[in-house]
C-alpha cells in the first residue's frame, strides 16, 4: 500500500435508514469515530461521518431530506453527541435518541439554525 494513506478517499453514499446498522458494524470492526458534519443540498442536507482505522479514513455520506429525522449514533459512539448537537444548532437537523441532547443550547447563536435559515 502507498505510504500516502491520506490520499485514500473512501466516501460511501448511504441512506439515512442504513446509518445505524453501518455504524454498528464499523464499531465491531474496530473503527474509531472521527468526525461528523453537515452540508446544505437542494433536497436538505448531506451528513458526512468519518471513521478511522490504521490511519485510514472511511466516510459515510448520508442523504437527509428537509425535515427528515436521523437516528443518533451516540449509542455506539458517545462522543458523537458534540457533532449531533452542533448539526442541530447550526442546521436544524433533528437526531433521535441522542444520549446527551442540549436541546438547542450547545452553541450560543444570535438566531436559530443560522446555517439553514429556511428552517
Partner 1 sequence: MGKRTIIPFGPQHPVLPEPVHLDLVIEDEKVVEAIPSIGFIHRGLEKLVEKKEYPEMVYVIERICGICSFGHGWGYCAAAEGAMGVEIPDRAEFLRTIWHELSRVHSHLLWLGLLADGFGFESLFNHCWRVRETILDIFEETTGGRVIFSVCKVGGVRKDIDADTLKKIADTLENIKADIKSLTDVFLDDVSVKNRLVGVGYLSKQDAIDLCTVGPMARASGINQDLRFNGHGKYLEVGFTPCIEEQGDCYARCKVRIREIFESIGIIQRCIEAIPEGAIDVPVKGKFTGEFITRMEQPRGEAVYYAKAFDPGKETNYLERMRVRTPTNMNIPAMVKTLQGCDLADVPMLVLTIDPCISCTER
Only one of the segments 18-26, 48-56, 63-71 lies at the binding site for partner 1 (rule: CB under 8 A); that segment is 48-56
CB 51 within 8 A of CB 28: no
Closest CA to 71 of 25, 28, 22: 22
Q: Which of 94, 102, 113, 116 binds partner 1 (CB under 8 A)?
A: 102
Determine the size of the site formed for partner 1 (CB under 8 A): 36
Alpha carbon 26 to chain centroid distance? 14
The answer to whether 118 contacts partner 1 (rule: CB under 8 A) is no
CA distance 113 to 19: 23
Residue 110 backbone dihedrals phi, psi, to 5 degrees: -70, -25
String of contacts with partner 1 for each residue 55-94, x by CB under 8 A: xxx-x-----------------xxx-xxx-----x-----
Closest CA to 95 of 117, 116, 75, 115: 75
Strand partners, 52: 32, 57
String of contacts with partner 1 for each residue 12-31, x by CB under 8 A: --------------------
Q: Which of 12, 13, 65, 109 binds partner 1 (CB under 8 A)?
A: 109
The answer to whether 6 contacts partner 1 (rule: CB under 8 A) is yes
CA distance 67 to 49: 19
Binding site for partner 1 (CB under 8 A): 2-7, 9, 11, 32-35, 37, 39, 48, 50, 52, 55-57, 59, 77-79, 81-83, 89, 102, 105-109, 114-115
Amino acid at each position: 500500500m502507498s505510504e500516502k494513506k491520506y490520499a485514500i478517499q473512501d466516501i460511501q453514499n448511504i441512506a439515512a435508514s442504513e446509518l445505524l446498522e453501518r455504524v454498528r458494524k464499523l464499531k465491531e470492526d474496530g473503527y474509531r469515530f472521527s468526525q461528523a458534519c453537515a452540508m446544505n443540498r437542494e433536497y436538505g442536507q448531506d451528513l458526512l461521518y468519518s471513521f478511522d482505522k490504521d490511519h485510514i479514513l472511511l466516510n459515510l455520506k448520508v442523504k437527509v431530506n428537509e425535515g427528515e429525522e436521523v437516528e443518533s449514533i451516540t449509542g455506539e459512539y458517545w462522543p458523537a453527541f458534540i457533532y449531533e448537537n452542533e448539526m442541530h444548532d447550526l442546521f436544524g437537523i433533528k437526531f433521535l435518541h441522542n444520549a446527551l441532547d442540549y436541546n438547542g443550547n450547545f452553541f450560543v447563536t444570535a438566531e436559530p439554525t443560522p446555517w439553514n435559515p429556511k428552517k
